Amino acid sequence: MKVLFTLAAWLFVVPLTMAQVSSQPVVSVFPFKGNYSDRVTSAVFSGLTSSRRVKTVDSSTLDEIVQQQKKSLDDKYDQTNAIQAGQLAGAQFMINGEVTAVNFSNQRIGNVTYYNCNVEAKVQVTDLETGVSEFETLQSSSSSSSNSDQDYLVNIAMSSLMSKAESFARRKFPASMQILEVLEKSEKKGIISFRVEGEGLTSKASASDGDELPFPFPLPGMRTRIIITNQREVVRPDGTKRIVNEEVAFAKIKKVEDGGTALCTVTEGGKKLQELWDKQARLMLKTTN
């Protein structure tokens, strides 16, 4: 009865303070396990927050729920209880994980010695509605020719890890938006630019988006990309119907404005986009980075 009373009390107190105020997913971040776990947890939390794609549960709120649960469960605390705590905090997703490697090495090039640190963390993302988990490995590194202090090298690596977590959040939780108005079009190219409305919109790509390129940094001016799909109904041979999403155009965010709007330019498919816009088709816009 003690456990049921505690959980019921939190159901009425906590969710109203977090979720339901935004269409963005709410994510609870629990402490990672392993060496330097506090710093890794902090870096991941900061990266998620910086992405602007999710709402993160305040750590003090989670700590309070966790401590309350531990008392109720006589210190028997496991993954199931962590999921329950995330749900009580109004979260749709829970993130936790393990630091799988923190390695230090020296490398001499010519007359210079470089002191290196490599950090690897396995991130677990759990959908609190379905209970399904996905895993992602984040890796970061640092190097210095002037400072061999391990604590210093770890701190630099954490900055890189925060950027990796931000990029991960952008991929995992794309921002959705809708076209408010067409700004520029031509007979030859179709729609050239338009204004959108949505949450978590950013014009510049995160610092780790260059990881997919041959060099480990983003191109100067790399922009947030958008994929535009047309949601339409098709009829199967047996007469039943299904919904399909057809890719029709691509764009990038040029400038974010006040009030949750942004200016976008079409990079491909402007003619097809114009045709569907004129037909008032059901267009879906999501970021890809």
CB 93 within 8 A of CB 129: no
Q: What is the Cα Rg of the chain in Å?
A: 23
Give yes or no: residues 155 and 249 share one domain: no
Tell me how long the chain is. Answer: 289
Cβ neighbours for 43, distance < 8 A, ≥ 6 positions apart:
158, 159, 161, 162, 165
How far does CA 260 lie from the centroid of its chain?
18
Does residue 12 lie within any of the structural domains? no
Question: Tell me, what's the pLDDT at 179?
Answer: 96
Does residue 38 lie within any of the structural domains? yes
CATH of the domain at 34: 3.40.50.10610
Distance CA 77, CA 44 (A): 23
Question: Tell me, what's the pLDDT at 212?
Answer: 45
* β 261-268/225-235 pair status: unpaired
Question: Tell me, what's the pLDDT at 203?
Answer: 83
* Structure confidence by residue, pLDDT tens digits, 25-76: 999 988 899 999 999 999 999 999 999 999 988 656 656 655 665 555 454 5
Question: Tell me, what's the pLDDT at 197?
Answer: 95
In the structure, what pLDDT confidence band is assigned to residue 109 with cuts at 50, 70 and 90? Answer: very high
Give yes or no: residues 168 and 180 share one domain: no
Does residue 8 lie within any of the structural domains? no
Average pLDDT value for the chain: 83
Give yes or no: residues 203 and 276 share one domain: yes
Mean pLDDT of 122-136: 94
Domain that holds residue 233: 176-211+222-288
Coil, strand or helix at 193:
strand
Which has the higher per-residue pLDDT, 135 or 3?
A: 135
Give yes or no: residues 198 and 152 share one domain: no
In degrees and rounded to multiples of 5, residue 81 shows phi and psi of -70, -35
CB 28 within 8 A of CB 124: no
CB 86 within 8 A of CB 128: yes
Does residue 16 lie within any of the structural domains? no
- 132 C-beta neighbours (distance < 10 Å), count: 9
Give yes or no: residues 107 and 185 share one domain: no
CATH of the domain at 203: 2.40.10.410
Counting the structural domains of the chain, the total is 2
Last residue of a domain, one of 113, 144, 172: 172
Is the predicted pLDDT of residue 77 greater than 50, yes or no? no
Question: Tell me, what's the pLDDT at 11?
Answer: 35
Question: Tell me, what's the pLDDT at 124?
Answer: 96
Give yes or no: residues 75 and 144 share one domain: yes
CB 225 within 8 A of CB 269: no
Does residue 14 lie within any of the structural domains? no
* Structure confidence by residue, pLDDT tens digits, 248-269: 999 999 999 988 899 999 999 9
Mean pLDDT of 215-228: 69
Give yes or no: residues 255 and 243 share one domain: yes
- State pTM to two decimals: 0.77
* Structure confidence by residue, pLDDT tens digits, 229-238: 998 888 888 8
Give yes or no: residues 151 and 35 share one domain: yes
Is the predicted pLDDT of residue 187 greater than 60, yes or no? yes
Residue 78 per-residue DSSP state: -
Give yes or no: residues 50 and 188 share one domain: no
Give yes or no: residues 124 and 243 share one domain: no
* β 55-56/26-29 pair status: parallel
To the nearest whole percent, how much of the chain has pLDDT over 70? 75
Question: Tell me, what's the pLDDT at 283?
Answer: 94
Is the predicted pLDDT of residue 126 greater than 70, yes or no? yes
Does residue 21 lie within any of the structural domains? no
Is the predicted pLDDT of residue 103 greater than 50, yes or no? yes
Does residue 1 lie within any of the structural domains? no
Mean pLDDT of 125-133: 92
Does residue 101 lie within any of the structural domains? yes
Question: Tell me, what's the pLDDT at 280?
Answer: 93
* Structure confidence by residue, pLDDT tens digits, 151-181: 999 999 999 999 999 999 999 999 999 999 9
Q: Which two tokens stand for residue 106?
A: 């020296």
To the nearest whole percent, how much of the chain has pLDDT over 90? 61
Please give the C-alpha separations between residue 67 and each of 64, 73, 76, 142, in angstroms, as whole numbers. Answer: 5, 10, 11, 35
Give yes or no: residues 193 and 207 share one domain: yes
CB 48 within 8 A of CB 28: no
Give yes or no: residues 161 and 132 share one domain: yes
